[in-house]
Structure 1
Amino acid sequence: MTESNARRAFHTARAELQTAITDYQSACAQAQRAQADMHQAMALLETAMRAFDPDPEASKLRALLQAWHGTFGSKPATVGAAIQMSRTQAGLAMAMDDIAGQNGRLNARILGRWLLRVQGRIADGMCFARVGLRQGLLHWAVYCPQDEATAQVAMSAETLYATPRDLAARAEGAARFGRTCPCPQRAGA
């Protein structure tokens, strides 16, 4: 091989290498643009899903009912007990954070007032039932028609802890929501 042929081969290889490098850089830039487009599309989809949610409050209620029932079953619990359990139950923590999260902490007062507001509202066949006041603390249970134990707890709490004020609040909740919880404490309201 002569020197001029070697130079020609070198320059040809060098040009092919430059073309390959340029093609690689172009492919990387396209991949980055595609990734950015995908992130933008995901953000738009998430925004659209939130915008088309007919009732964000119902979504929060469904999430909390499922998490609360998964954690406590039909047993009555206080808001404080639920907040304590949320330290180990991620689903419960996330559901309560959507409702009563403030600066990375759960606000028991906000959560309790939210439960008072949504008691008796049905979501996924379940609703929150106020089952009594013991030692100054409200106890809540998730009423699920398939769960007879909850119905018995709610019935006993109704007879033990109902006051005229409770009955008036339940009637006001029934009038506000239209649909009420089928649990025994709502049946008389």
Structure 2
Amino acid sequence: MKKIAVFASGSGSNFQAIIDAVKESKLHAEISLLVCDKREAFCIERAGQAGIPQFVFTAKNYADKADYERAILRELEGLGVDFIVLAGYMRLIGTTLLRSYEGRIVNIHPSLLPAFPGKDAIGQALAAKVKVSGVTVHFVDEGMDTGPIIAQKAIEIDASETKESLQAKIHAIEHELYPTVLQNLLNAGGLS
């Protein structure tokens, strides 16, 4: 069974969806580690409740990105982690992790990339008054939300949509799509 590490910075709703998919045997993987850069993030509590080990760090306590990524890499290698799954991790992955996990890091983003990369994609979509938005799962490269697209799912935006209502719709799609795409990648050998 493949071992995955989930990287998150916030509440961890996508992390929870992955935990649930593993428990329900919809995703055949072992979640070996949560990596989090925010000590107050709720995803840490989710990991604790699920019995998943955590590596929590504060970036400013390291000399630079390469330094904290080396610390993360030691944790990943020590656990034999095969694949990295970003789930609301609010830092760009640097060359240290990209080199070691090339082609084995995926991210989920709340827009139809390449539209609305970066932070607040939902707010960007509403501000642009687009009629359609959605979710993208993609491989991670050195850019911000620029890696090769694996899967997308679109939704229509109602004229009366609020940020909260659109966010709820996006989360519902993410929580179904991400575990399914991860399992498909495992089945296809794309996470090896």
Tell me which interval the TM-score lies in, with the shorter structure as reference length: under 0.3
More relative contact order, 1 or 2 (CA 8 Å, 6+ apart): 2
TM-score (norm 1): 0.25
**In proportion to residue count, which structure has more helix?**
1
**In proportion to residue count, which structure has more strand?**
2
TM-score (norm 2): 0.24
